Structure 1
Amino acid sequence: MTDILLTLRPIPDRVDGLLRRAGAQPRLRAHLELVHDVAARLLDGIAARWPGAAVDGPAVLFGAATHDLGKVRHPEELTGPGHRHEEAGHLLLLELGVDPRDARFARTHASWTLPGISLEELLVSLADQVWRGSRRADLEDLVTARLAEAGGLARWEVFLALDDLLTDLGADADRRLAHQNAFATVG
């Protein structure tokens, strides 16, 4: 099993404490670490390609590392579909003393078409898709438009570069899935 485990960027100490206090299951913790790692790589790629894009990187990383925390209260959604964890996660983070601006990612990570969604929220949603190799054209179009606007670039140009970045990030999806599945859903 050790050959499938990955070396990931560590989650922030603040998030580690929140996961412990909330009693995050091992598989949930592994998932959050994976999405956090992909979000960090996504931010690196954006900074390299669009240095003019104003992105709150720490907010994206916090959101990626906590977005599914509501699955502590809805553990059936660790292995099956469901959206009850979204609002539950938002409320749990607020109960744990997290600022509403940071807690929002738990509620919005699957709702990228809501009015007023920030670029940071879109990037958490994107990381939550691409970690497993999933591509969502509607989400990618929204991110493309925001990055093109921020950099004063043509959308097609941003689309091509973002497509390359997401293809690269998705290349390890099978290893990431195997890594996540090596952890228990309870305990």
Structure 2
Amino acid sequence: MKKNIVSVDDAFNLLKELNAPVHLITHVKLVSEAAEEITEKLSNLGISLDYDFIRISIILHDIGKIIHISELNAPGHCHEEEGEKILLKLGVDTRIARCCLSHANYNKMICSTEELIVALADKLWKGKRDETLELMVIDEAAKELGRKRWDIYMDLDECFECVAAKGHERLSRSFK
């Protein structure tokens, strides 16, 4: 049974089919909000990305938490490999399934720019800044534009700060 996930609606429907907890659905919606701000800025800079891939991957990146429920509210890494297994078993695109791993292991894997953005949105949504990850995204954007890191650093750093600044408010909505 191959799941052809080509839209945000398809991704949310899959979560519902698998009886994803409400808290997980709320989480991916909040991460999606952060990602939209980031991708809007990148798009305005003229960065060419697979924005649908980013949106779908964000919705499914934590799908392994359906099995590892304790990781919804506590640290843990079992959900990452489990998520990839779930998606691969369902026949979901391997690139999307890989985001279950790469969103937490971006510093140990060679990742696409889109995967780095998924990881970054998953940090910034709650107000957590990660300089290493942010510089990876900035460097990928600079490379895409044929510019130097510092030519676009301020624009993207300001964007990341704005997203992170809303973290407290997003966190408060994550527990309602």
When the two structures are superposed, what TM-score results if normalisation uses the length of structure 2?
0.92
- What 5-or-longer segments of structure 2 have no aligned partner? 1-6
Aligned match of 1:72: 66
Which digits, 9 at most, give the CA deviation of each residue in 1:50-74, with x for residues without a partner? Answer: 20x2211011111111111100110
- Please give the alpha-carbon distance, in whole angstroms, between the structure 2 residues aligned to 1:75 and 1:65: 16
Assess if the C-alpha contact under 8 Å between 2:106 and 2:119 holds in 1: yes
State the match for 1:168 in structure 2. 162
Does the Cα contact within 8 Å between 1:123 and 1:143 map onto a contact in 2? yes
Q: How many residues are treated as equivalent by the alignment?
A: 170
Name the % identity. Answer: 34
Matching residue within 35, 51, 54 for 1:57: 51
Indicate whether 1:81 and 2:75 are aligned.
yes
TM-score (norm 1): 0.87
1:19 to 11, 15, 18: 15
Aligned residue in 1 for 2:116: 122
Q: Name the counterpart of 2:4.
A: none
- SS at the partner of 1:15? helix
Per-residue CA deviation, residues 89-132 of structure 1 (Å, 9 max, x unaligned), is 11111223311111111111011123421101000000000000
Match of 2:32 in 1: 36
Q: Which secondary structure state, in structure 1, belongs to the residue aligned with residue 105 of structure 2?
A: coil
Correspondence for 2:137 among 133, 140, 143: 143
Give yes or no for contact 1:18–1:96 (8 Å, CA) kept in 2.
no
Structure 2 Cα separation of the partners of residues 171 and 123 of structure 1:
17
Structure 1 residue corresponding to 2:98, chosen from 89, 98, 104: 104
User: Contact 2:126 / 2:170 at 8 angstroms: preserved in 1?
Assistant: yes
Shift of residue 13, structure 1, vs aligned partner: 1.1
* Partner residue, 1:131: 125
Following the alignment from structure 1 to structure 2, what is the Cα–Cα distance between the partners of residues 26 and 145? 36
**How far 1:41 sits from its partner (Å)?**
1.8
Over aligned residue pairs, what C-alpha RMSD do you find?
Answer: 1.3
Extract structure 1 runs of 4+ deviating beyond 2 A.
none
Distance 1:94 1:37 in 2: 26
- The structure richer in helix per residue is 2
